[in-house]
Structure 1
Amino acid sequence: MNVLIALRDVQKARFSFKSFVAQSLIVFAVVLACFAAPRDASAQTYRFTDVTIEGNQRIEPGTILTYAGIARGQTVSAGQLNEAYQRILDSGLFETVEIEPRGSRLVIKVREYPTINRIAFEGNRKIKDDDLSGLVESKSRQVFSPSTAERDAASISEAYVQNGRVAARVTPKIIRRSENRVDLVFEIFEGRGIEIQRVSFVGNKVYSDRRLRRVVGSKQAGLLRAIINRDTFVEDRLEFDEQVLTDFYQSRGYVDFRVTGTNAELARERDAYFVTFNIQEGQQFRFGRITTTSEVPEATPAHFQNVLRIKPGVVYSPSLVENSIARMERLAIKKGIDFLRVEPRITRNDRDLTLDVEFQLVRGPRVFVERIDIEGNTTTLDRVIRRQFDTVEGDPFNPRQIRETAERIRALGYFSDADVNAREGSRPDQVVVDVDVEETTTGSLTFGGSYSTDAGLGISVGFRERNFLGRGQTLAANLSLSGNTSNYAINFIEPAFLGRDVAFAFSSSYVETDGDNSLYDTTYANLRPGITFPVAERSRLTLYYSGSYSDQGNYAGASPTLAAEAALGGQFASAVGYRYVFDSRDNGLNPNAGVLIDTGMEFGGLGGDQDYVKSTLRVVGETRVLNEEVTLRGILEAGSIDFKGSTRGRAVDRFTQKVIRGFEPNGMGPVQAGEHLGGNLFAAAKFEAEFPLGLPAEFGITGGAFYDIGSIWNVDTIVPPVAQSVGFEARHVIGLSLFWESPFGPIRMDFSKALQKEPGDIERQFDFSVRTDF
C-alpha cells in the first residue's frame, strides 16, 4: 500500500515537472514574440500657424492651397503632407513641388510649367507643317504639358504610319527662353515607306489574282514606286479592301462570300510587306421568283410590282434590291401613301442557286422629321446641303432616304467627311436629323502640257471651282495653246436652277486653228446656254440655244469650192437643239455590261446666215468576259447635216473629224483638186477588245486590238466641178493598241493598217497621245 502511494507521488511529481516546463516555454515564447513584434511608434504630427507659397508666378496662392488641402491651424500627419504634395503635383501645373515644414510654418515651393512660345516641326518632308499642326493638342501661348506633348508625338507617329512609314519616330523637345517660356520642337525621323511587295489571294477560283488586285486599294510596288503612293503599306487600308472585295463579289451574286482573314507579313529585311487575303467565294446566285405582297389596304401589289426592273434569271445583287425598294417607296409617295415601308424577304434555293425575293409592303412607324440641323459648313450654304434631301421638316421619316441623302452629300465632293444621323426629337414620334460636315478644298489651278500627232506640243492653264461662293456652282476657265491651235473657254453650271433638279449651264469658247487644213485658217466662237434635267432613272435631256460665228479664210489652194467658201467671209449661226443621254454602264442590271446612247439634233435658222438641221448619234456597248479579264466594246457613230434653201455648208460646217482610226483628221471623204472638203454625212462602226498582257497589274499596261469601218460622204459644192468620192465608200482598218494608265495621264498608242481605202485618203499608221497636268 505504501509502495503504491509512493509510485503515485512519483508520477504526480513527474507530471508537475512536465507542466512546469511546458508553461515556462509558453511564457518564454510570448515574451520573445513581444520583443520581436514591431512596436507602434507615435506618428509625428504638425500644426502650422502660417503657410507660405514660393515660386508661383501665374497661379494664385489660394489655388495652390486648395490643391494642398491644408488649412492654417490644422493638425496634419506626415502622411497627409505627402498626400498634399502629390495633389499639387498631379494638378499638372507645376514642373517641381517641394513641401518643407519649418516649425510652425509650412513652406510650399513650386516651379510652374513654362508657357509655349511657339511650336515647330523639324525633319518632316512627307507631311507639311500645316497638316501636322492640326494633329497636335499643344498650342502656342498655352502652358506646356509633358503628357500632352507625348500624346502629340504619338498622333504624329500615327499619321506617318497611315502614310506607310511604320518606322517613323517623333521626339518632343523644349528649348527654354526667357520669362519662363519654351519653344516646343517635334524632331521627326520619317524613315522610308515600307512597300507592299506582293498582294495575293487564297481561295479565289472564279476571279484571278490579277483581276482582284484591280479591286483593292493596296497595290504592289512597281516601276513607278516613287510616284505612285498606293504601294506603301497602310494598315487601315486593309479594312477598306476587305469591304470592297465583299461588295465586288456580292454585286456579282456571290452572297456567301466572306474574307476569312487578312495577313500582312513583314519581310525579314523589314523593307517590304506581303499582304494575303484569305477568301471564300461560295456559289453565284441569281434572282428566282419576284413577288410583291401588301399589308397596307391602299397599296395594290400589282401596281408596285410593275415598277420593278429586275427579272428572274438576273444575277443577284443587293444594290438591285435596294433600287427596287426605292422605286416602290417613290411610287407610294406619288400615290399619297405615307409611312409605307418595303421589307424584302429572301428565300434561298440551294438546289438551283436562286434567291426568291418577296417585297412586302408594310405600314411603318408614324415618325415625322422635326428638323434638320446642319453643322460644320463655313463656306457652303445650308441650302446646298438641304437640297440633297428628299425630305423636309414635317415629312414622314424614312431611314432609307436618310442613307441615300448621306451618300449624295458625300458625292458632292465639297466635304472631306460627312455624317448624317437621326436622333429622337422633342417627342417620341419625331426625329431630328443631324448633318455634320467637314469642308475640303474645291478649287484647282492646273498647268499642263500635251502632245499629240495632230497638234504637236501644247500648254494649257485651267482654273476650276466646284463650289463657287459656297453655292454649289461650278466655274471653270481654260486656255490651251499649241503649234496650230488657240483655244479659250469659260463654263458655268448651276446644278439646281430655281431650286429644282435642273442644271443650268452657260459655256463660251473661242478657237483659232489652222490644223484642219494647212491651206486655210479657221476662226470659231460660240455662246451656248442650256438646261439639263432627268427624264428617267438613267437618262437626261439637255435643251440649249447656240449662237456661233465661224470664218474660213486665208485660203491658198486650188479647190474652187474651198476658194468660194473662203470668199464668203465670216458667218453667223443661230440654232436651238437637244441632246439625250442614256447610260447604264455603271448602274445597270449587269455590273459587267452596259450601254451608252448619246443622240441629239440642232436646228439652225433662227436668224443668222445658215439654215440647217444637224443630227448626231453615238451608241456604245461594253461588256467584260472571261471572268472580267477582257473588255469587249462596240461603238456606232453617225451624223448628218442638211442645209436648207439656198444655204450651202462650208468645210468648217461639215464633218471633217477623224471618223475611224488609221486616217488623218480630214484625211478621207470627198476630194476636189486633191483637197478634202468634209462631208454632210458620216457613219462608223468600231469594234475593239482590251486585254491583259501578263504584266503586273500595278504597271497599268494593257493591250488591245480593233477593227474599224466607216466613211464620210455627200457634199454640195458651191461651184463645179463636183468633188470625187462623194458617195458612200467604206474604209476598213485593223490595228493593235497599247494602253498605259500612267501617273502622267492616260497614254494610248495605236498601230493601224488600212485594209480598204480610196484615192486621196491620207493614212496614219501610228497614233500616240498623252496629256499631263502638273
Structure 2
Amino acid sequence: MHYGERGILMGFVSKSFITCGALVGLSFPVFAAEGALVAGVSFSNRYGATGNLGLEFNDLFNETTQARLGFRSGENGEEWNAGLSTVYGLGETALGRETSLQFGLKASVSDWDVNPYQTENYEFNFGVGGNPTEMLSWYAGAFFRHDSLNNADDGLSAIIVDDLGSSEAYGLEAQLTWSDKDRAEVLQTGSVLSLGIATTFSNEDYRDWSSYNVRGETTVGAFGQSVLFVGLGGGAVRSKSDENRIHVLDRIFSNSDLPRGFAWGATGPIDPVTDDALGGTRYVAGTVELMAPLPRPGMAVGAFVDAGSVWDLGDLASDGVIDDDYDLRSSTGLSLIWSSNHGRLRASVAEPISYNDDDDLERFSFQFTASF
C-alpha cells in the first residue's frame, strides 16, 4: 500500500515539495458553515510546477463535520480530490474517555507523469475510537474502496498491466497509539508508539490481504537545548489468496523522506526494462537525528543518519528478472526546520552511504507550506 494512503500500513510518509499558498477566510454562510478559499502554487521533484485551488468548510451541518474540494494542475499532470468527514461524540463510555463515532468519504482522480497510469480512488470508512487514558488512543473500523487504473503508458511493466481496470477492496482496520509528545513543537521531548493492523475480504484482483505496521520514536534531551531523535518502523502486507500476489495499489512504496537522499520508489523493486517502480510487501525505516535550536524562534538545525528498504514481491518476482531482495539503503546529512504561525519549512541535504548503482538519488529536498 502506498505510504499514508490509509495510515494503517505505513509509519513514515511525506513528499518533497515547495508550496506557497494563500488562505483567505470568507464570511459567507454555506449550510451555516465557515468557509475558506485556498489557492497556491507549488514545485516538487515528483509533480513539477503546479497550481492549486480549493474550498474548505468547517462546521458543515454541525460543529464536527468538515468538507474539502481541491484541484491541482501543472506541467506534469493534474488531480482533483474531495472529502467529507464527521465525528459524533459519545462522551465517556466503557470504551474510554472521549469515545466517538467517525465517518469519512474520500474521492480523487490523479494523472501525473511520475505514474505510468491514471488512478481513480473512492473510499468510505466508518468506525469508533476513544482515549482510555490521556496518552493512549485507539481506533477500529471498516473501509470500502473502489479503484481504477486507466490510460496506461505504452511499455508499462507487465507486473502492473495485470492490475489495470477497476477493482474493489473492503475490510477492517485498527490502530493503537501511545504518545506523550506534542508534534507541533519542533524540539519537544517525548515518545510515540503506534501499532496498526488491517485485513480485507475481497478475492478480486489480488486484493485479499492482511497487513501490520509498527512505529516507535523518542526525543530526549542531549546537551544544552539540543535533542536527540530516534525513530524506527516496519511492517508488511501479506496475500491471503492461493496466489502470493498483492495488487499494485496495496503494495508498499518508499518515498523521498526516509531514507533521505533517495527519490520516490528508489529503495524498492524496480522493473529493469521499463524503470517503473513496483513497490514491495515489506518495509523497514529508521533515523537518528541530533537537533539544536537556532536564534530565531521555532527554527532548528540537525545532523542525521537514515536507513530504510522496501522489498519482496512474492510470486511476482519468481522468474528471477526482478530484484526484490532486501537491500538496505542509508544516508547522512544536514536538515533545517522552521515552524511558525504562518507555515512550516523543512529542508535537507543528504549524501547516500549505501545504495545500488541504478538507484535514483536525490540529495536535496525542500518543503514549505504557508497560509496567509
Superposition TM-score, scaled by structure 1 size: 0.39
- Counterpart among 724, 745, 756 of residue 354 in structure 2: 756
**Matches of residues 369-388 of structure 1 in structure 2 within 5 Å?**
none
Q: Are 1:666 and 2:265 counterparts? A: yes
What residue identity is the alignment partner of 1:476?
A: A
Listed as ranges, the gaps of 5+ residues in structure 2 are: 1-31
SS state of the match for residue 171, structure 2?
strand
Residue 665 of structure 1 and its aligned partner are, at CA, apart by 1.3
Residue 537 of structure 1 and its aligned partner are, at CA, apart by 3.3
Tell me, in whole angstroms, the C-alpha distance in 2 between the residues paired with 1:497 and 1:574.
29
Tell me, in whole angstroms, the C-alpha distance in 2 between the residues paired with 1:509 and 1:599.
24
- Counterpart among 514, 526, 539 of residue 123 in structure 2: 526
- From the superposition, tell whether residues 482 and 722 of structure 1 become closer, same or farther in structure 2 (CA, over 3 Å): farther
What residue identity is the alignment partner of 1:540?
A: S
Which runs of 4 or more aligned residues in structure 1 lie more than 4 Å from their structure 2 counterparts after TM superposition? 497-500, 606-609, 717-720
Residue 573 of structure 1 and its aligned partner are, at CA, apart by 0.4
**Matches of residues 10-25 of structure 1 in structure 2 within 5 Å?**
none
**Matches of residues 762-773 of structure 1 in structure 2 within 5 Å?**
762-773=360-371
Counterpart for residue 507 of structure 1: 104
Counterpart for residue 634 of structure 1: 230
Q: Would you say the 8 A contact 2:67–2:82 is kept in 1?
A: no
Q: Are 1:540 and 2:134 counterparts? A: no
Q: Are 1:715 and 2:310 counterparts? A: no
Residue 744 of structure 1 and its aligned partner are, at CA, apart by 4.2
Tell me, in whole angstroms, the C-alpha distance in 2 between the residues paired with 1:558 and 1:461.
33
Counterpart for residue 47 of structure 2: 455
What residue identity is the alignment partner of 2:58?
A: E
SS state of the match for residue 501, structure 1?
strand
Write 1 or 2 for the structure with the bigger share of strand.
Answer: 2
Counterpart for residue 345 of structure 2: 747
SS state of the match for residue 760, structure 1?
coil
Counterpart for residue 685 of structure 1: 286
Q: Would you say the 8 A contact 2:286–2:306 is kept in 1?
A: yes
Counterpart for residue 473 of structure 1: 64
Residue 498 of structure 1 and its aligned partner are, at CA, apart by 9.9
- From the superposition, tell whether residues 489 and 759 of structure 1 become closer, same or farther in structure 2 (CA, over 3 Å): farther
- From the superposition, tell whether residues 592 and 655 of structure 1 become closer, same or farther in structure 2 (CA, over 3 Å): closer
Q: Would you say the 8 A contact 1:465–1:474 is kept in 2?
A: yes
**Matches of residues 285-364 of structure 1 in structure 2 within 5 Å?**
none
> Could you report, residue by residue, the CA deviation over 1:686-743 in whole angstroms, capped at 9, with x for unpaired residues?
11122134xx324x43312211011000003548644433111100111111223356
Q: Would you say the 8 A contact 1:599–1:616 is kept in 2?
A: yes
Q: Would you say the 8 A contact 2:181–2:189 is kept in 1?
A: yes
Residue 452 of structure 1 and its aligned partner are, at CA, apart by 4.2
Tell me, in whole angstroms, the C-alpha distance in 2 between the residues paired with 1:516 and 1:547.
27
Tell me, in whole angstroms, the C-alpha distance in 2 between the residues paired with 1:705 and 1:719.
37
Tell me, in whole angstroms, the C-alpha distance in 1 between the residues paired with 2:317 and 2:328.
26
Tell me, in whole angstroms, the C-alpha distance in 2 between the residues paired with 1:690 and 1:635.
14
What residue identity is the alignment partner of 1:630?
A: S
**Matches of residues 497-646 of structure 1 in structure 2 within 5 Å?**
501-515=98-112, 517-553=114-150, 554-566=152-164, 569-586=165-182, 593-605=189-201, 609=205, 610-627=207-224, 629-646=225-242
Residue 556 of structure 1 and its aligned partner are, at CA, apart by 2.1
What residue identity is the alignment partner of 1:463?
A: E
Residue 582 of structure 1 and its aligned partner are, at CA, apart by 0.7
Counterpart for residue 486 of structure 1: 80
Residue 746 of structure 1 and its aligned partner are, at CA, apart by 0.6
Q: Are 1:443 and 2:34 counterparts? A: yes
> Could you report, residue by residue, the CA deviation over 1:317-367 in whole angstroms, capped at 9, with x for unpaired residues?
xxxxxxxxxxxxxxxxxxxxxxxxxxxxxxxxxxxxxxxxxxxxxxxxxxx
Q: Would you say the 8 A contact 1:458–1:481 is kept in 2?
A: yes
Structure of greater relative contact order (alpha carbons < 8 Å, 6+ residues apart): 2
SS state of the match for residue 481, structure 1?
strand
Tell me, in whole angstroms, the C-alpha distance in 2 between the residues paired with 1:506 and 1:516.
33
Listed as ranges, the gaps of 5+ residues in structure 1 are: 1-440
Counterpart for residue 736 of structure 1: 334
- From the superposition, tell whether residues 660 and 746 of structure 1 become closer, same or farther in structure 2 (CA, over 3 Å): same
SS state of the match for residue 671, structure 1?
coil
SS state of the match for residue 562, structure 1?
helix
In the comparison of the two structures, how many residue pairs are matched? Answer: 323
